[in-house]
Amino acid sequence: MRKPWLYDERLKNPNMGRIVYQVIVDRFVPAENLADKQSLYAYPRSLKQWHEQPKGGSFMADAKYWSHELEFWGGDLKSLMTKLDYLKELDIDMLYLNPIFDSLSNHKYDASDYLKISPEYGDIQDLKALADALHQQNQRLILDGVFNHMGVNSPYFQSALDESSPYRQWFYFGQSYPEGVRLWADAKSLPELNLENEAVKDYIYKKESSVIRSYLKQGVDGFRLDVAFDIGYDILKDLTNHAHQEKDSALIVGETWNYPKRWLNAMDGVMNFTLREIIFHTVEQTFSPKKTNTLLEKMVTDCGVDALLKSWNILDNHDTVRLNHRLKQPDQILAEVMQFTFPGSPNLYYGSELGMTGGNDPENRAPMAWDLYDETSERLAWVKRLIQVHKQEKALMVGDYLPLLSESFIAYERHTDDVSDTVLVIINPSEKAQEEHILVPDSSLMNFSKFDILLGDTKEVSMVAGLLKVKLEPKSFVLLKPSTQPEKSYTPYKRV
């Protein structure tokens, strides 16, 4: 049964199959007026030079923070806006900002006041201006929502230290906790919120004046939820429903280092770390192609394509080593081919498109290396080409997934109801050239069909009775598209 409406509806959904670009505001573009902002970086904070690299520090007992958490590089919302042309040039669809709420740290996962922008970043008018400018470029703005815990300097928490405070029940106090209060990951600066408390729910997402609904009213298009796995299925579902009540198109994506299936019933999408692990095991050859094919098919079957299309396909971010730190170039390329062709929204971490490197936190959070920007850069050209192919091919954007039967290759098909949209993805992660007949269980692909190469290369490809013969060089790939137009007057594709 043909269902063109399905793929058209998916294309209309601004959250499906889109390109996401992640930015730490402090580290993207240095502000021009840093001299006027020195007071914002007073002790225990410090301000670094843009060329300096982040390094691990020591624990500051008086502040209850590690010293590297309080080192800043001076970016803000206004300086970020000077690079919107760059984001347009990349052709991204969503800009995702690491937390921007008022807080002491540079990472800002320790909010003091969710309803206030941290002063060194700007104010609510700057955020509105950014949202408006992005919307004019047909791009969307996603904020980082950190609602499992607040910062120790929050007025709510400071008030709650008094047993008679109306905010006492917003947190978990008790002698069973080493610090007298429940902390996230035992970090002394991060007391956990009591999300079962109705007043906390009202404050975070239920009331029209709540944090989430307030920002959605002011132009924000959605939230990435920090440590969503700590928030739980029921509260996440309730939060997502209230966000949609405020804005139908709002996107709620959760950070879940878990198998995605059940979490996709609670939120619109997840950061697909399971896919990330599968990709790395594949290109590093700890998984066989056959095993990878099985795992990918299982994920699609369990989760459904619609939910995966709204999930973010991630390879690196502020919590992981950078891609260029972990993988050599041939493996990077194969990993990114999977990232951009498996159902989902490819998520780019600022600077990785320029080849920035960096180990674990804080090394992976270095300031943007604009000196690496070069219009002739092979690395940047490659990422732009991936984005271009992903967005120009309807099947890669919003198509369904069909596993191909292969022992030697990672192999799958993306397709719509129109056979001319079909894209075959075939990857050889091994150190040896491979040749195989792959079963393509798609009855609409014709005998002796010819194929156009969208990306990559192959030494040989032919189709006979549903069996695709492919030969690939070591560490290589090819994206194939059937040639469905008549060469002269005849095509076997005329009625399929």
Q: Is the dihedral of CA 45, 49, 50, 55 positive or negative?
A: negative
Beta bridge pairs of residue 438: 468
Q: How many other C-beta atoms are found inside a 10 Å radius of the C-beta of residue 52?
A: 11
> Can you give the length of the chain in residues?
496
Catalytic choice (226, 268, 306, 353) = 226
Omega of the bond prior to 44 within 30 degrees of 0, cis? yes
The bridge status of strand 460-464 relative to strand 467-472 is: antiparallel
CA-CA distance, 112 to 108, in Å (whole number)? 9
Instruction: Describe the crossing of helices 378-392 and 329-341 by its angle, rounded to 10 degrees.
Output: 20
Contacts of 400 (CB under 8 A, 6+ apart): 305, 414, 415, 416
Phi-psi region of 449 (alpha: psi -120 to 50; beta: other; left: phi over 0): beta
Using DSSP's 3-state secondary structure scheme, residue 25 falls into: helix
* Whole-number Cα distances in Å, 473 to 80, 323, 468, 478: 42, 23, 16, 10
State how far the Cα of 449 lies from the Cα of 203, in Å rounded to an integer.
59
Query: Which listed residue (110, 221, 255, 336) is catalytic?
Result: 255
Q: DSSP letters along 426-495, please?
A: EEE-SSS-EEEEEE---TTSPTT--EEEEEE--SEEEEETTEEEEEE-TTEEEEEEE--S-SSS--TTTT
| 363 catalytic residue (yes or no) | no
Bin 91: left if φ > 0, else alpha if -120 < ψ < 50, else beta.
Answer: left
Q: Is 226 assigned a catalytic role? A: yes
Alpha-carbon span 469 to 341, nearest angstrom = 21
Distance CA 263, CA 230 (A): 12
The answer to whether 148 and 184 are in contact (CB under 8 A) is: yes
Is residue 260 within 8 A of residue 303, CB to CB? The reply is: yes
Integer distance in angstroms from the first to the last C-alpha of the chain?
Answer: 11
Q: How far is CA 52 from the centre of its chain?
A: 26
Token pair, residue 252, equals 């709620």
Cβ–Cβ < 8 Å for 264, 234: no
**CA 182, CA 173: separation in Å to the nearest integer?**
7
Catalytically active residues are: 226, 255
